[in-house]
Amino acid sequence: MLIRKAPDIRPSEITPERVFRDRRRLLKAAGFIGASALLAEARAADTIPANHRRLANVKKVPAPAGLTPNTFEEVTGYNNFYEFGTDKSDPAANSGKFRPKPWKVAIEGEAEVTGSFDFDALVSPHQLEERIYRFRCVEAWSMVIPWVGIPLGDVLKRFKPSSKAKYVAFETVMRPEEMPGQRYPILDWPYVEGLTIAEAMHPLTLLVTGVYGVELPAQNGAPLRLMVPWKYGFKSIKSIVRIRFTEQQPPTSWNLAAPDEYGFYANVNPKVDHPRWSQASERVVSSGLGSLLASRVPTQPFNGYAAQVASLYTGLDLARNF
């Protein structure tokens, strides 16, 4: 039964923000709100080091109720970017030499407009938006992250893809001098990923240039990366230098490395386990004091974005097309 009973509907879904906050203050005073929720709010507000450049003129898109961002420290200090090493602390530790400017992106393939474009030429015609997304790694941990970017589709439309453009392929920069992980055959470099054209054009799919209101740090994929919130994290390719419209499904790095474990679609699916672990639940990443209260929560189909994206896959067997 999928009908929600009244107690399942969060008060924040039906109450205006200010009223909701005032009510929370009263509940807090009365001891009704647990320490974990209060801690999470305090942690999310922690300060961002001054060496990060603020992005101007960012439109804030209100987040759905119940999404409390992880801290800047967690978002930038615990992540995967194998070009800088395979430990979760490696991207922050080993990306100091990386230079995200100047930056060019090659646009190729089945489109009317192709060529090499400067970062600014790609980004500056668009309004930057902040969107708070839940983000789920295939390794069964998750975070909530305030991304800054542009819907990818708005950028791609400017190149006028042809009717042969069924997929979009993406490629990460190849710079072993700046990316020490690329000196080892961990993956078949450069990292590549792909989306169907419908996935690439979907309004939830972001071309990300920043996080927490500042320019994207190197370890998070500077200066330009994808964010596809209903797919496992590895689909969201970082430091993109090539975008190609293709007729055939493009190869993807993790599928090439382990085809039984990682498919092309990689939609978050609690019912399809990874061959070596369950995908039914996830660990909510937190650090410091918060880790005492770290929680495991059930994973939601399409990472909670089913209402917006499930229709992209009607008729597709998602157990086979994992």
Ligand X SMILES: Nc1nc2c(c(=O)[nH]1)N[C@H]1C(S)=C(S)[C@@H](COP(=O)(O)O)O[C@H]1N2
Question: Closest approach of Cβ 192 to Mo ion, in Å?
Answer: 15
Closer residue to ligand X in complex, CB, 37/272: 272
Question: Closest approach of Cβ 166 to ligand X, in Å?
Answer: 23
Q: Which residues pair with 194 in a beta bridge?
A: 169
Closer residue to ligand X in complex, CB, 161/304: 304
Question: Closest approach of Cβ 136 to ligand X, in Å?
Answer: 8
Closer residue to ligand X in complex, CB, 103/161: 103
- Partner from ligand X, Mo ion, none binding residue 238, C-beta < 5-8 Å depending on class: ligand X
- Partner from Mo ion, ligand X, none binding residue 252, C-beta < 5-8 Å depending on class: none
Question: Closest approach of Cβ 175 to ligand X, in Å?
Answer: 11
Q: Judge contact between 165 and 246, C-beta under 8 A.
A: yes
Write out the residues near Mo ion by the rule CB under 5 A: 80, 137-138, 233-234
Question: Closest approach of Cβ 307 to ligand X, in Å?
Answer: 23
- Partner from Mo ion, ligand X, none binding residue 305, C-beta < 5-8 Å depending on class: none
Question: Closest approach of Cβ 120 to ligand X, in Å?
Answer: 22
Closer residue to ligand X in complex, CB, 159/220: 220
Nearest by Cα to 268 from 220, 230, 218: 230
- Partner from ligand X, Mo ion, none binding residue 191, C-beta < 5-8 Å depending on class: ligand X
Closer residue to ligand X in complex, CB, 107/240: 240
Q: Which residue is nearest to ligand X (CB)?
A: 233
The CA distance from 210 to 204, in Å, is: 16
Closer residue to Mo ion in complex, CB, 122/227: 227
Closer residue to ligand X in complex, CB, 80/269: 80
The CA distance from 265 to 271, in Å, is: 15
- Partner from Mo ion, ligand X, none binding residue 172, C-beta < 5-8 Å depending on class: ligand X
Question: Closest approach of Cβ 224 to ligand X, in Å?
Answer: 11
Q: What is the CA 141 to chain-centroid distance, rounded?
A: 13
Write out the residues near ligand X by the rule CB under 6 A: 79-83, 137, 172, 191, 220, 233-234, 236-239
